[in-house]
Structure 1
Amino acid sequence: MAIDQALLATLSDDESKSVRRLVEKGIKLPPQPHVLEELRHLLSRGVTDLRVIARSISQDAGIVAALFRVVQSAAYRRMQPFASVEEILQAIGTRQTFNIVQAVTLATAIGARHNAKAFEAFWARSRAVGQIAMLIAEDRVSVCNVFPDQAYLAGIFHDCGVPVLMQRFSTYCKAMHADEQGAWLDLAEEDRRFNADHCVVGYLVGKHWKLPDFICDAIRFHHHMGSLGNHAARTMVAILQLAIQLYYQDMHIDNPEWAGAREAVAEELGLHADALPEFMDEILDRYHSEEH
């Protein structure tokens, strides 16, 4: 893979070295689909005609179908129903819709070369975390100033370094138990075996796809909330940590990070520790209501 000079120009020296190391190992950052490049071009030109933007999105029927699935979330219940892409753009806004389109195109950009079942399970988990994160953000937006589209984008991208590494290393799934339901990735073991960190890879994917900086930082530090000070990325990580916990709780699987993160997450989201269990139950109830 040729090194993307435009990407390198946005990175620090250490990050540029990380990209070069990935290239040397044969790890490829997924290219953005054409529809994203076209949409970004329209927005950068200041195009405001929703019909033009809707036509661009509607080139890909799969993207349209996925977009409609996302906006059926309870996070957008006050705006439903939607009858067209143009209505979605009008209700949610062009930038917010673009964020969701970025999220729904990622799975197709990182396709399965082998072990399709593991890839399918990974993306199902990512979509679930993204949907739960949307509900958390919608409820706490007045406190956290993070919006549902941003939370969904972070939820889909937060572990995207995993399928990138799965593409590159045929042994990654088995070695990291990534093909087992509810498996928890051991970062130290990942680094020892593959000399690669899925958080760093995911961060670089986010940079390559021109995600907002605070979302890229949240991807990089979603296992290390304490590394972030008073920053929008810290709030996003709190939302991700809670969404991940709710996903694992719903699956009846232990989350080894939750005990150490619980108090900081509650504080960051403006929730009293005693109120957190009830809030979590409410979010899960709303999540399950979307399935029926």
Structure 2
Amino acid sequence: MTTVGLTVSAEDEPEALLARGLQLPPQPAALQALQMLALTENPEMRDVSEVIASDAALTAGLYRMARSPLFARPSPPQTVEQVVLLLGLPRTLALAQALCVQRAMAGDARVLARFWARSTAIAQLAMLIAAHLPGARRVSGEQAYLAGMFHDCGVPILMQRFPAYCRTTGIEGYVNKWADIRTEDRAFSCDHAVIGFLLARHWRLPDFVAQAVRFHHEGGCIPSRPTSMLVGILQLSMHLYAREMDLTEPSGEYDEGLLLERLEISANEMNELCEQVIEHFHVLER
């Protein structure tokens, strides 16, 4: 398949993407209002709760997250304000962004359900890795979760733009293969990592999270230390997911030596980390 005039780089702006037939979904109004409150000094929890309550789907999603094994407390929250107090505003905002991006994507409902199931599993693995990573943490659990939910969000955008995307990339059915950016670049002159980065930036995610989305398939030098660690978390999450689901990883994608360097841990610590993460992940899957 040949695409004319569609070369997309990380420097492209959303307006340039529109001219090339790629459309970034807008943020829901409630999410925009929540971001504005997060930028204010000492925002009132009542105001935050009212913004969330104005969006029924967002409210339901945050209730579900707050009561999940990832965040659950002995006494589950009963009101939106209790949800916000339990999670805290930064985590609430990150989870709201992760929930909203799922609703924002158009396409075949069955295909998207499989796609988001995979993204959610990788986000959960990323959050568990961040929580169990030895040493001083520079990536919070919610930032890792957010990166996991957004890391492949360029895929449904490419699916919508190119009806033959799944067949061309060989992931039709998602049986034992996932998107390969080299195949995407050859077929469509762009890849899901760059598109995901542009969406993350458009949705005002923290810069190092957006950068991690951009570089999550990279094996070379990463711009900053926090970004490098988050990329390492994502790459380990993808590897563990592929291992658990018996999926085929792109050739040369997993480099344990590089991951040890990015996560700043030893081989023994890596083995312990993987065992802990998979054990907790199985609890979430029950």
Calculate the TM-score normalised by the size of structure 1. Answer: 0.86
1:82-120 CA-partner distances (Å, limit 9, x unpaired): 3333223223321221111001110111121xx332211
Does residue 205 in structure 1 map to residue 230 in structure 2?
no
More helix per residue? 1
Matches within 5 A, 1:145-224: 145-181=138-174, 182-224=176-218
What amino acid does structure 2 have at the position aligned with 1:137? A
**Shift of the alpha carbon at 1:238?**
0.7
SS in structure 1 of the partner of residue 136 of structure 2: helix
Q: Matched residues in 2 for 1:225 and 1:73: separation?
A: 34
**Shift of the alpha carbon at 1:174?**
1.5
CA contact (8 A) 2:112 2:156 kept: yes
Does residue 275 in structure 1 map to residue 269 in structure 2?
yes
SS in structure 1 of the partner of residue 216 of structure 2: coil
| 1:255 paired residue number | 249
| 2:45 paired residue number | 50
Q: 1:71 to 1:126 in 2, by over 3 A?
A: same
Name the stretch that deviates more: 190-199 or 204-213. Answer: 190-199
Q: 2:22 aligns with which of 21, 27, 30?
A: 27
Q: Matched residues in 1 for 2:97 and 2:35: separation?
A: 10
Q: Matched residues in 2 for 1:141 and 1:209: separation?
A: 31
Matches within 5 A, 1:66-215: 66-76=61-71, 81-112=76-107, 115-140=108-133, 142-181=135-174, 182-215=176-209
**Shift of the alpha carbon at 1:288?**
1.4
Structure 2 unaligned blocks of 5 or more: 1-8
Q: Matched residues in 1 for 2:220 and 2:234: separation?
A: 14
CA contact (8 A) 1:30 1:109 kept: yes
1:123-165 CA-partner distances (Å, limit 9, x unpaired): 1100111111111111227523211110111000001111111
Matches within 5 A, 1:233-252: 233-252=227-246
Higher relative contact order, chain-length normalized (CA < 8 Å, sep 6+): 2
CA contact (8 A) 1:118 1:178 kept: no
| 1:7 paired residue number | none
What amino acid does structure 1 have at the position aligned with 2:165? Y
CA contact (8 A) 2:177 2:248 kept: no
CA RMSD after TM alignment: 2.3
Name the stretch that deviates more: 96-105 or 268-277. Answer: 268-277
Structure 1 unaligned blocks of 5 or more: 1-13
Calculate the TM-score normalised by the size of structure 2. Answer: 0.88
What amino acid does structure 1 have at the position aligned with 2:83? I
**Shift of the alpha carbon at 1:216?**
0.8
SS in structure 2 of the partner of residue 162 of structure 1: helix
1:219-255 CA-partner distances (Å, limit 9, x unpaired): 1100004230542111101110111111111112232
What amino acid does structure 2 have at the position aligned with 1:93? G
SS in structure 2 of the partner of residue 23 of structure 1: helix
Q: Matched residues in 1 for 2:36 and 2:52: separation?
A: 13
1:175-225 CA-partner distances (Å, limit 9, x unpaired): 113333242222222112111111111110011001111011101100004
What amino acid does structure 2 have at the position aligned with 1:121? R
Aligned residues: 277
Q: 1:18 to 1:188 in 2, by over 3 A?
A: farther
Q: Give aligned-pair identity as a percent.
A: 36
